[in-house]
Structure formats: structure tokens, C-alpha cells
Amino acid sequence: MSPIDRVVLAGLLSFGLLAPAAAQGKPAAKEKPLPERTTRHELSPLPQSRYYLTQPERDVAPGRALGLLVVLPGGNGGDDFVSFVAGSLAECAPTAFLCAMLTAPKWSPDQKIVWPTAAAPEAGMQYSTEDYVHAVIEDVGKRHKIDAQKVVLLGWSSSGPALHELLASGHSPAQRAYVAMSVWKAKDAAAVAATKGMRVVLDQSRDDKVTPFPHAEQALQMLTAAGATVRLMAHKGEHGWTDAPLPRVREGLRWLLTDEPAPKPAPLPVKKGTNLVQNGGFEDGTNKWFVKDNSKRFGVRSDAERREGSKSMFVSKSGTVPVDFVRQEFDIPGPGRLTFRAWVKGEAVTNSFVKVFLYDAAGEPIDPNVDVMHLRGNVAWTRLEQTWDTTGAVKGEVQILMVAPGEVWIDGVEALWAK
């Protein structure tokens, strides 16, 4: 089990959704009694394949085409997960839905990827997750009449990347998917073109440190640009099903099966001292920061030389004008006080600035006092701090400008707002 999945498993335990034996590290007993309406199935052509099929909670008319929720757990699945999936997630699906939960094969003792795909295989892999999902849906279809328009994929954590790969493959068996707490691996527009017309829910906590929120934002941006209809359901809480997720899952599944447009994510209330800058510690590289290389002699990357955490942002320039810069824009919640803080270091800096701008609704600066520090020469790590009144401001922006040659490191960037 991967470190990410251990976090998810702990969340399920804290939520009361797994048996205590899983927490104690005891091996699951073979052939545990299954939840009511659930049966185990294996696919003889696929070694190590097993899935659990849960019948609809209510009886349905004979011959009626059923919906199918296909679940790839955030982990390898099995008896330790089936009680949560069959007893909770399956019941979030609309009436007349089957639920098939897959278990992940173990291809090697040191397997790193729980749900390997054609694009990200594992040594010894005999079939991909994509082929596995197709085979399970086909097998369920031999047992029950399935409505192909009501096949929905659901996964979280380690299975999320596999679901994204399947949706973008050009031969996905489903046009609807619910993906929770997943990383988004960089793709170009062509790689996600096949998601046009699909409907996708992205379920992501803004507090998640294991799969940070920007992953969901990137997925939202790229899938939407490809023509998919994407709903981002943002919420609070740590990685895993640690809050009260079932009403959210129920609403997400309901929405997936409609033609409703995607609502905008509801803004979360800003608490006193909330950092409005995203990825200000650069633990996620330079994600959320916009780089403008006007001189074509400007470099930006994350760096192990840091003041806090494990990384900083390193910017360097080998020429003179035009000016190059890195910036991030953020929303101002309203009238109050904004305190900017950061650590900065420089070597052989000719002319560089750290600036903070506050803009009104017309895009005009409301305060001419924008220079937080002017760097020249060699500068040891220095703590910056400056405060502004945000009355009349709707946007803020942090800029690191390089006018001439030099090297600058910046770390721990905060824009703390309070009423």
C-alpha cells in the first residue's frame, strides 16, 4: 500500500468505515462475509482479477436497464474496502444502479503504482487498468442489462490518475466520472481531446497536503478547455474521506446523470490571517506562478536552497532589459488589512525588485507604495514584511522583477488578509 493510500485508509477508519483489523495491520481474513446484496466475481482470462458486485438497494422491474457505478478504490480494494463501497458509496448512486468495485492486482513485491495503466505500466503487468475496467463492465453486462448512458466511473487518491488516463484514452467505456483527491499529471491539449462531451466531478479539499488543491484546478482548466463539462466540488478537510462526504458524493452522482451546467465552486470563507498566495512555499514547484521571460535570458525553477520547507523559488537573469518577472494575482476579500511576508536572498544582483500591487475594480493601483525591497549585490536571507489597507481593493499581485543580471531566491511568500 502506498503512503497516500495509508492516509486514505486512516481517514476511512476515523470515519468508522473500515474494520479495526485494518488499523492494526492484521491480514484480512479470507472470504469474509460480504455486505447484503454483494457478491464476489473473478474474470478467468485475467489473473488476479476480482470485483465485488452490489445489487440495487430496492428491487427493480425485471428486464429494466440498470445504471452501473464502477469503483476503483484509493488502495488495492478487497474485503477491507467493500463495506464502505457497498454500504456507503453504492447507496449514493440513484435508484436502479449496480455497483462494481474492482481490486487491484499485485504484479511485483515492489510495485509502486497501485493502478498501473498503458501509459504508466508496472513490471510484470499482464493487463492494464483500462483493460481491466472494460472487462469488468463487459462481465457485468452478461449478468444484467446495463444502460450504457448510465455507466459512471468513481475513484479516489491512487486510482484518480488511472481514471483520468481512461477518460482521455479515446475508448473510455463511460462518459461520466467522479474523481476525488487525485493528482493531475501534466498533459497537453491533444492528450485530453477525447474528453470532449464528457461530464466529470472533481472532489477536492483545499486543505489537502497529499494531493494539493492546484491539481484539481489544473484538471478543471484542461478538461474544460477540451470540451468536457466539469464540476469542481471544493471543501475543507484533510486527505481522505475524513469529513462527511456522502451527501457531497450523492449530489455529485446526481449531477453527473443530468445535463445541468457546472456550477462555479462555492468560495470558502476567508479566515483571519488566511494566506491569499497559493504555493508560496514552492513545495509544488512554480505551480500557480506566472513567468514572463521577455529577454529570453531569464530562468525560473524550484531550488533546494531554501529558508523554509524543502524548496524555494530561484530566479536568474544573464542579460539586461527588457524586464523579466514572476507574478501571482489573488482576490482581496474586502476592506481590511493585508500583510505581505517573504524571505529573499540574492547573489550578484544588479537590479531586482519585490513588489506588491493592490488594484481597484478598474484595474488601477490604489496605493503607490508597491516596492517591498530593491535588491542589489549580495543579500543574505532577509525577512520582508509590509502592511496595506485594502479598502477599495479587489485584486492583489506579488511580483519578483529582474531588470538586470543576478540570482534571487524567494521563499515563504504570504499575503495575510484580515478584517
CATH number at residue 180: 3.40.50.1820
Higher per-residue pLDDT: 12 or 77: 77
pLDDT in tens, 66-100: 999 999 999 998 888 999 999 899 999 988 999 99
Q: Are residues 338 and 388 in the same domain?
A: yes
Q: Are residues 172 and 278 in the same domain?
A: no
Whole-number pLDDT of residue 32: 77
- Burial level of 363, CB count in 10 A (0-12/13-18/19+)? exposed
The candidate with the shortest Cα–Cα distance to 297, out of 336, 326, 324, is 324
Whether residue 304 has pLDDT greater than 60: yes
Which three cell numbers, joined as nine digits, stand for 127? Answer: 493487463
Q: Are residues 225 and 305 in the same domain?
A: no
Whole-number pLDDT of residue 186: 66
261 is a domain residue: no
Whole-number pLDDT of residue 30: 60
80 is a domain residue: yes
Which three cell numbers, joined as nine digits, stand for 371? Answer: 516596492
Whole-number pLDDT of residue 384: 96
Give the Cα separation of 340 and 326 in Å (integer): 16
318 is a domain residue: yes
pLDDT in tens, 139-165: 999 999 999 999 999 999 999 999 999
Q: Are residues 328 and 185 in the same domain?
A: no
Whole-number pLDDT of residue 206: 82
Q: Are residues 67 and 208 in the same domain?
A: yes
* Lowest-pLDDT range of 114-123, 231-240, 270-279, 370-379: 270-279
Confidence of residue 3 (pLDDT cuts 50, 70, 90): very low
Whole-number pLDDT of residue 27: 45
pLDDT in tens, 174-198: 999 999 999 998 678 888 999 999 9
Whole-number pLDDT of residue 412: 95
Give the Cα separation of 148 and 2 in Å (integer): 33
**CB-based contact 410:344 (threshold 8 Å):** yes
Give the Cα separation of 344 and 385 in Å (integer): 11
> Is the dihedral angle over the CA atoms 372, 375, 379, 381 positive or is it negative?
positive
Whether residue 41 has pLDDT greater than 60: yes
Give the Cα separation of 326 and 294 in Å (integer): 11
Q: Are residues 44 and 126 in the same domain?
A: yes
Give the Cα separation of 187 and 222 in Å (integer): 8
According to DSSP, the β-strands at 199-205 and 176-180 are parallel
391 is a domain residue: yes
Whole-number pLDDT of residue 189: 84
Give the Cα separation of 32 and 30 in Å (integer): 6
Which three cell numbers, joined as nine digits, stand for 169? Answer: 484514452
Q: Are residues 284 and 358 in the same domain?
A: yes
268 is a domain residue: no
Q: Are residues 62 and 135 in the same domain?
A: yes
* Lowest-pLDDT range of 167-171, 354-358, 361-365: 361-365
Whether residue 8 has pLDDT greater than 50: no
**CB-based contact 148:135 (threshold 8 Å):** no
68 is a domain residue: yes
Whole-number pLDDT of residue 16: 36
CA distances from 182 to 211, 269, 341 (A): 6, 24, 30
Give the Cα separation of 312 and 331 in Å (integer): 23
pLDDT in tens, 204-220: 998 888 898 888 988 99
264 is a domain residue: no
Q: Are residues 353 and 242 in the same domain?
A: no
* Lowest-pLDDT range of 104-108, 294-298, 351-355: 294-298
What's the Rg (C-alpha) of the chain? 25
Whole-number pLDDT of residue 195: 96
Most distant CA pair in the chain, distance? 81
Whole-number pLDDT of residue 266: 67
CATH number at residue 409: 2.60.120.260
Q: Which domain holds residue 406?
A: 274-418
* Angle between the N-to-C axes of helices 160-167 and 129-143, in degrees from 0 to 180, rounded to the nearest 10: 80
Q: Are residues 287 and 219 in the same domain?
A: no
Whether residue 244 has pLDDT greater than 80: yes
According to DSSP, the β-strands at 290-292 and 324-331 are antiparallel
Residue finishing a domain among 256, 282, 301: 256
Average pLDDT of the chain to the nearest whole number: 89
Confidence of residue 6 (pLDDT cuts 50, 70, 90): very low
**CB-based contact 318:405 (threshold 8 Å):** yes
Q: Are residues 249 and 304 in the same domain?
A: no
Whole-number pLDDT of residue 267: 61
Q: Are residues 172 and 279 in the same domain?
A: no
267 is a domain residue: no
Per the document, the length of the chain is 419
Confidence of residue 315 (pLDDT cuts 50, 70, 90): very high
User: Total structural domains in the chain?
Assistant: 2
Contacts of 92 (CB under 8 A, 6+ apart): 246, 249, 250, 253
Find the mean pLDDT for residues 26-37: 69
Whole-number pLDDT of residue 334: 82
Whole-number pLDDT of residue 269: 62
Confidence of residue 268 (pLDDT cuts 50, 70, 90): low
Q: ∠ CA(93), CA(50), CA(168), 5° rounding?
A: 60
